[in-house]
Structure 1
């Protein structure tokens, strides 16, 4: 699997969220560099789990849409004349 990477803007936003969390929930300030290391650790260690769950959710959504489409197509069918008669 390709390494999970974030744009500079996304990484900055995530790092900012990590820093806010540490300050608000743990009463422990954390610097930018340690927050970036923590983000990289989580991306490497558990990122695949979130990515795979996203794929499973997308797959399930696609299957639901395909079932809806199959039902819509079935509803478009018309009754055939002379159905059930033999020639």
Structure 2
């Protein structure tokens, strides 16, 4: 398994179908366009391949900051 395969976001079939449906609904509600499953799937693939890493990295950073703040809180209860 290549490093690229390990880093790729994997979705369950059900979650992928939900996301495709959400993309189709968005286009219909916001742009008054009906797009098919293929077009929505291609948009989802683009988001996963090109954009998702930034959201993931922001989540990791936010978690890191949160945990560091909690560690600082823990150190404040030391007894001297």
**CA-atom RMSD in angstroms:** 1.2
TM-score normalised according to structure 2 size? 0.86
In structure 2, the partner of 1:16 is: 21
What's the counterpart of residue 47 of structure 1?
A: 52
Number of corresponding residues: 75
Query: What residue in structure 2 maps to residue 7 of structure 1?
Result: 12
| Matches of 2:17 and 2:56, distance apart in 1 | 20
Q: Which runs of 4+ in 1 moved over 4 A?
A: none
Report the structure, 1 or 2, having the larger helix content. 2
How far did residue 44 of structure 1 move?
0.4
Deviations 1:44-77 (A, max 9, x none): 01111111001101101111111111112x2xx1
1:4 Cα deviation after fit: 1.4
What is the TM-score of this pair, normalised by structure 1? 0.79
Which runs of 5 or more structure 2 residues have no equivalent in the other structure?
none
Q: Of the two, which has the highest radius of gyration? A: 1
Structure 1 unaligned runs (5+)? 79-87
